[in-house]
């Protein structure tokens, strides 16, 4: 004797399976969107959105915005600078080096413009 309609257990099984598939699909889509947004903002200036360039100054990576001149440090880099600050004038030298680099870029841009 064949049944035309699935049993209540079958309905429950497929409803649960469908709900799990929908949840998994949503989670994958949210993860994909988060990754796309992360890539969109990677190495962009938080102030004006222009590209950041990474420069090494005295062993510390400093991300610099060519547009606004902002300097950004990643996690742990400030601590590196503070450890170096025990040496007389180290922070002053790092800032002076970064400013000199920015000055050259600004001067080069003016000559091209």
Tell me the per-residue pLDDT of 47-85, one tens digit each, with 9 for 90 and over: 888 888 888 877 888 888 888 888 888 888 877 877 776
Rounded to whole angstroms, the Cα distance separating 70 from 41 reads 16
| Per-residue pLDDT, 21 | 95
Rounded to whole angstroms, the Cα distance separating 86 from 81 reads 9
| Per-residue pLDDT, 17 | 94
Full DSSP string of 27-68: HHHHHHHHHHHHHHHTTB-TTT-PBEEEEEETTEEEEEETTT
Residue 107 confidence (pLDDT) above 60: no
Rounded to whole angstroms, the Cα distance separating 71 from 96 reads 12
Least Cα distance to 81 among 68, 69, 97 occurs for 97
pLDDT-derived band at 25, boundaries 50, 70, 90: very high
- Calculate mean pLDDT across residues 81-105: 67
């Amino acid at each position: 004797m064949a049944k035309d309609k699935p049993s209540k257990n079958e309905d429950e099984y497929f409803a649960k399976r469908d709900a799990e598939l929908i949840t998994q699909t949503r989670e994958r889509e949210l993860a994909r969107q988060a990754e796309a947004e992360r890539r969109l903002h990677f190495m962009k200036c938080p102030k004006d959105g222009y590209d950041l360039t990474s420069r090494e100054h005295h062993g510390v990576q400093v991300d610099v915005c060519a547009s606004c001149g902002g300097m950004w440090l990643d996690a742990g880099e400030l601590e590196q600078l503070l450890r170096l600050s025990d040496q007389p004038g180290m922070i002053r030298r790092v800032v002076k080096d970064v400013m000199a680099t920015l000055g050259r870029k600004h001067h080069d841009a003016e000559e091209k413009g």
